[in-house]
Amino acid sequence: MATTDLSAYDKNDLPNVKGFRFGIVTSEWNPQVTENLTLGAIDTLIDNGVSEEDIITWKVPGSFELIYGCKKMLESRNVDAIIAIGCVIQGETKHFDFVCDGVTQGIKDLNLTYDVPTIFCVLTDNNQQQSLDRSGGKLGNKGVECAVAAIKMAALNKR
């Protein structure tokens, strides 16, 4: 788990993405976490010159559904990168392992299948406090970090 501020970045190190279009697909599960991650991503994109009109946001029921939501966005919208946002917290059953593995492999598969980067912004924490700490708490906001990754990958894809 990260032990530094996830929100720290230097705008001067990022490419110009004005006019680029970004998609964000967010899980509705654990909304106190995923909504903060989404806000962090949106604020970062806007802070780096992306217009609000060029940010498409969709919601899906849970993290496992991120794969299908991202796939549909890749097929139906003209976007330069997508950020898949979710939160899976360890419970008492193997469900955590299956969901985490499935989402990880699914997003990997999207990156291999489509020529648009899909950024993995799915927190997989041991408890709710760890997720809160990484979604705007003492460790910053992973949504910011993933928006920075989306900016870099979208620009790389345009080269």
AA letter at 70: C
Catalytic residue among 95, 109, 127, 157: 95
CA distance 142 to 54: 21
CA distance 32 to 29: 9
**For residue 93, what is the DSSP state?**
S
Beginning with the edge strand found earlier in the chain, give each strand of the sheet holding 118-125 in spatial order: 55-60, 22-27, 81-89, 118-125
Q: Respond yes or no: is residue 142 known to be catalytic.
A: no
Alpha-carbon torsion, ordered 126, 30, 62, 81, to 10 deg: -90
The residues annotated with a catalytic role in the active site are 95
